[in-house]
A and B are shown apart, each in its own frame.
Chain A
Amino acid sequence: GDSVTQMEGPVTLSEEAFLTINCTYTATGYPSLFWYVQYPGEGLQLLLKATKADDKGSNKGFEATYRKETTSFHLEKGSVQVSDSAVYFCALSSSSASKIIFGSGTRLSIRP
């Protein structure tokens, strides 16, 4: 079945460092891909999405490119801030299901 695998955390970086959180997927058909962010004590919020191969989703300085050849959707940010500390979830929505499948989440902590 469809699945999402993302790098385990926690990931700890210094402020202004470059961030990569890896995400790969397995799916039939042509899924849409998402990154969600969860701040402490809150629900998940959509961060960005891409709906077809080679699309780049971007928001708040974060980017991810839909790579069909490597079945990946890695999240990147050039210079992280303390306020980016949160849990990040990679997810997919496939044409064979009316629901979203989430990865296990990656906790990111940014040191001042």
Chain B
Amino acid sequence: NAGVTQTPKFQVLKTGQSMTLQCAQDMNHNSMYWYRQDPGMGLRLIYYSASEGTTDKGEVPNGYNVSRLNKREFSLRLESAAPSQTSVYFCASSLQGGVDQPQHFGDGTRLSIL
């Protein structure tokens, strides 16, 4: 009963380093999402993938890239980390991107950029 699994749970990087956040879901969902959560700002969508083979920018895509590796996996990459990217990152999935489809979330990755 894993649902959405994110790795790692915690990470500290130095400015300029690169890193990939991993996300996998076992619910056979078509759509997957990456959010960042910052104090007082709720969740902001970084990128999403409506279906395998497609990706689209969300509200705050700058400084990030994504890969929908297969139906299960959707990774988020920081090519050159900046202190402004210090945040909690959440991956989510839904059966499809329809109007009444809720999203299922992982437990998050807490990322600090020094």
Contact = CB atoms under 8 A, between A and B. Distances in A.
Contacts, number: 58
A20 interface: no
Name A's interface SS.
loop
A40 to B, nearest CB: 11
B90 interface: yes
Interface string A71-108: 00000000000000000010001110111101111000
Chain B interface category by residue count:
20 to 34
Interface secondary structure of B, over-half rule: loop
Given A98-B48, A104-B41, A43 B108 contact: yes
Interface size class of A (residues with CB under 8 A): 20 to 34
Interface of B: 4, 31, 33, 40-43, 45, 48, 50, 58, 90, 92, 96-108
